[in-house]
Structure 1
Amino acid sequence: MDIIELRRDLHAHPEVGFTEFRTANRVVLELRSNGYSVSYGADVMVPEWRRGLPPSTQIDLAYERAKNDGADETILQGMRGGLTGVVATLKGSAPGPTVAFRFDMDALPIVESTDSEHVPNANGFASLYRGEMHACGHDGHTAIGLAFAKAMSARKFAGTLKLIFQPAEEGGRGAKSMVDKGVVDDVDFLICCHLGLDLPLHSISGGACDFLASTKLMAQFHGVSAHAAAAPEKGRNALLGAATALLNIHALPRFSSGATRVNVGVLEGGTAPNIIPDTAKMVLECRAESYEVNQDLEQRVRTILLHSAAKHGLTCDIETIGEAATAVCDHELKSLVLDAAKFIEFFTEFKDEHPLGASEDATFFIRRVQELGGKATYSILGTTIAAPHHNPKFDIDEQILPATVQLFERIAMITLQTRAE
């Protein structure tokens, strides 16, 4: 398996959260071919705990697209409706610990750059699915996971290796459904990772810090339409209520206990200038350094939404469409990652921790493992990036991919062999 070729194939076929049918299908086939026991779909996800599902029409179109692209229909059937999580296990030759690695698979709703200097475009592996793009490195993560799986299939070890391929990391939507299914309840050591994040090529951090707890909300405002000139008093302006909420949400005070963030990212409503809009939609988020502070901030946001609606004679339905927690990486595993990296010639700079400064639903995996007595970390692997994460010109330096496979192989062998003795 050529990891560069694999990453480029995944990059050319990006799929947003809960529509990763082609990607997950390939993951299943590759893992099976290397002797792993593979579970997917409802066997590794609690369907009702998924957050922010795309419209069923979008899911169905992606399903048919994957089928047309040659995906195995038997596997696809088990993923119908957006159940695209995959978990694989490989048993060692003797009893020992369970060591898990988690990889995210989803892309972003971004139109990829067609600039002639954009490497994927110049080399013929830019997105074939307009409006979807791997602009955060998850194509690299998935490629690393599959190449690592193949490398470990030839190894002898004690214990169990578990590989978790998660859908819908973007927006904090996919992890909790897998956590609640119990996929990490038997895990003794968990390694999560991310490429880039402002670490230069050849550098690595054993763990991450400054995770921001986050809640993503969608609010639907409902009013009454009317003629904007002949009978404006008979209308109840849903867009006005949403706009009132927007201004007040962004006016919320900061917290003395730590950094907080709020952002209204989507505000939609109305059909014509002479009609009082009877519906409006808002999509927003709040974040905080503390899980508890974020809960407080979320409650304040919800209060503003409901009161803004009431002020204008509206009703408001609020749905949680994504969430992430805070986490603290275990010192023991951070040190193990760095010690292993020092044996890989590619890595020359080593950091104990690197600030994430954003949100990640891998935190739910990390917290669950730790709650049950295990150890977990979230390592950041440095690579040159062509543009910031979530940018149409984003790309990674692919040198990091084979080096990370070597690193993970060494980490796995240390944890599985040494801990089993």
Structure 2
Amino acid sequence: MTVKAQIEQWFEHFHAHPEVSWQEVETTRQLAEILTGLGVKHHTFDDVTGVVAEIGEGDRIIAVRADIDALWQEVDGVYQANHSCGHDANISMVLGALRYLQQEALGSRIRFIFQPAEEKGNGANAMIERGAVDGVSHLFGVHLRPQEEIPFGKVAPAIHHGAAVFLEGRITGVDAHGARPHQGNNALDPLFAIAQFIKTIQFSPYEAYSAKLTKVQAGGDSLNIIPGTATFAIDARSQSNSVLNELQERITAGIEAIGKMHAVEIELIWSDYTPAAEVAEEAVAIATEAIVETVGEEAFSPAIITSGSDDFHFYTIHQPALKAAMIGIGADLAPGLHHPAMTFNREALDIGARVLSATLKKASYWKN
């Protein structure tokens, strides 16, 4: 079987067997089985899902990361695990790169990190804690890109993801009869105030950022009760880590002031922070050369700037000396990432695997 055909077969399997974050048990088992069949030494973990494998020899270590979890979303009226995130493609491209590299002479060890829970924003930290990037000098990732970013056939040497963080809030006041609002503490008024407030937060127009309500829940079936409790969620994003930090501070301060003004308690819990990309010029240079040599100069696309986020960038936050970049693969992906009916040109899988293998091989011989 050709490597290309094997990549397509792997994709079909992982696409048909999605598992959500931290529950990638069968995915982990299947990866371990594939790696065993390829004669690649690897190890799993007792307390988390995921696999780490290595090929090659030497003191230097080059690494590549593939995220392995799926989303939980409604598909055709049914809630289920679904790989609309494209992680099934990422797994297959990284396995394909491994297969291609097994046919090559390498200048260092190549480590393959099959990471859980990217969609939860904390899978990378679990791998970091378990030594996945210990001793690693260069780290690469790979991801299919939506067609509005780059078309099929184009490949970018880096993706500049933005930073993101989520806020869950609970407003606690007192219910009241619709005829006697003065007897309670209405949760809806502060909720609407929060919705208006986050639209007033402004930074320089040269900064890319956003904050928006993504969930609101209040009241029950009775239409004559003014609800005293409500819950809400906010999605906050920025292309800059520093701007996101300030955005988070302003949102917190503003909501606390709204709570005092309306005489209600507002509990805030920030979670699932993912940092903006810290992309190394050297990693981009390596990937650029690999792209041009593999698919030609006409297929090269400049680095992508996207408002999406990825926990891949925790690796460089944890280890600042790590030279990292995530390669973007044009695939005519539509309607978009995380859309339940997402589709893409599967010819992109082999392109991604070949570019990635060339990048890793080139990095294994790269001299600083």
Same fold (TM over 0.5): yes
Q: Aligned partners of 1:414, 1:163: CA distance in 2, in Å? A: 16
Distance 1:245 1:412, change over 3 A: same
Distance 1:323 1:188, change over 3 A: same
- Out of 53, 74, 84, the position equivalent to 1:89 is 53
Structure 1 position 380, deviation (Å)? 0.7
Q: Aligned partners of 1:234, 1:34: CA distance in 2, in Å? A: 71
- Out of 294, 306, 313, the position equivalent to 1:344 is 294
Structure 1 position 148, deviation (Å)? 2.9
Distance 1:169 1:138, change over 3 A: same
1:35-54 to 2 correspondences below 5 Å:
35-41=39-45
Structure 1 position 278, deviation (Å)? 3.8
Structure 1 position 397, deviation (Å)? 0.7
Q: Aligned partners of 1:137, 1:347: CA distance in 2, in Å? A: 26
Show the counterpart of 2:142. Answer: 193
SS in 2 for 1:344: helix
Show the counterpart of 2:307. Answer: 357
1:252-331 to 2 correspondences below 5 Å:
252-256=201-205, 258-272=207-221, 273-331=223-281
Distance 1:18 1:313, change over 3 A: farther
Post-superposition CA distance 1:139-193 (Å, at most 9, x none)? 1011222333344456553432211222332363432343344422321111112
Q: Aligned partners of 2:102, 2:228: CA distance in 1, in Å? A: 58
- Out of 65, 81, 96, the position equivalent to 1:132 is 81
Which amino acid in structure 2 is aligned with residue 386 of structure 1? A
Q: Aligned partners of 2:188, 2:67: CA distance in 1, in Å? A: 36
Post-superposition CA distance 1:337-395 (Å, at most 9, x none)? 122223334884113422223322212123434x1x33111211111123122223311
Percent of pairs identical after alignment? 24
- Larger displacement relative to structure 2 (275-284 or 290-299): 275-284
Show the counterpart of 2:158. Answer: 207
Structure 1 position 401, deviation (Å)? 0.8
Q: Aligned partners of 2:356, 2:152: CA distance in 1, in Å? A: 17
Preserved contact between residue 213 and residue 287 of structure 1 (Cα < 8 Å):
yes
List runs of 5+ in structure 1 lacking aligned partners: 42-77, 115-128
* TM-score, structure 2 as length reference: 0.87
Which amino acid in structure 1 is aligned with residue 260 of structure 2? A
Show the counterpart of 1:333. Answer: 283
List runs of 5+ in structure 2 lacking aligned partners: none
Post-superposition CA distance 1:73-125 (Å, at most 9, x none)? xxxxx45xxx33x24132524x23111111112223333359xxxxxxxxxxx
Preserved contact between residue 157 and residue 291 of structure 2 (Cα < 8 Å):
no
Structure 1 position 35, deviation (Å)? 3.6
Preserved contact between residue 238 and residue 307 of structure 2 (Cα < 8 Å):
no
1 or 2, which has the higher strand percentage?
Answer: 2
Distance 1:290 1:412, change over 3 A: closer
SS in 1 for 2:212: strand
Which amino acid in structure 2 is aligned with residue 193 of structure 1? V
Number of positions where the alignment pairs a residue of Structure 1 with one of Structure 2: 361
Post-superposition CA distance 1:292-341 (Å, at most 9, x none)? 11111101111122222233332222222211222342222222212222
Which amino acid in structure 1 is aligned with residue 54 of structure 2? L
Distance 1:325 1:157, change over 3 A: same
Distance 1:228 1:290, change over 3 A: same
Which amino acid in structure 2 is aligned with residue 406 of structure 1? R
Show the counterpart of 2:22. Answer: 18
Post-superposition CA distance 1:36-62 (Å, at most 9, x none)? 443444xxxxxxxxxxxxxxxxxxxxx
Preserved contact between residue 214 and residue 359 of structure 1 (Cα < 8 Å):
yes
Q: Aligned partners of 1:278, 1:19: CA distance in 2, in Å? A: 37
Show the counterpart of 2:63. Answer: 100
Q: Aligned partners of 1:140, 1:26: CA distance in 2, in Å? A: 15
SS in 1 for 2:341: coil
Show the counterpart of 2:355. Answer: 407
SS in 2 for 1:299: helix
Which amino acid in structure 2 is aligned with residue 378 of structure 1? M
Which amino acid in structure 2 is aligned with residue 217 of structure 1? L
Preserved contact between residue 346 and residue 403 of structure 1 (Cα < 8 Å):
no
Structure 1 position 419, deviation (Å)? 4.3
Distance 1:157 1:181, change over 3 A: same
- Out of 307, 316, 325, the position equivalent to 1:377 is 325
Preserved contact between residue 34 and residue 149 of structure 1 (Cα < 8 Å):
no
1:124-203 to 2 correspondences below 5 Å:
130-153=79-102, 155-170=104-119, 172-197=121-146, 198-203=149-154
Which amino acid in structure 1 is aligned with residue 310 of structure 2? E
- Larger displacement relative to structure 2 (8-17 or 260-269): 8-17
Structure 1 position 284, deviation (Å)? 1.1
* TM-score, structure 1 as length reference: 0.77
Q: Aligned partners of 2:218, 2:135: CA distance in 1, in Å? A: 47
Distance 1:345 1:303, change over 3 A: closer
Which amino acid in structure 1 is aligned with residue 335 of structure 2? A
Give the aligned CA root-mean-square deviation in angstroms.
2.7
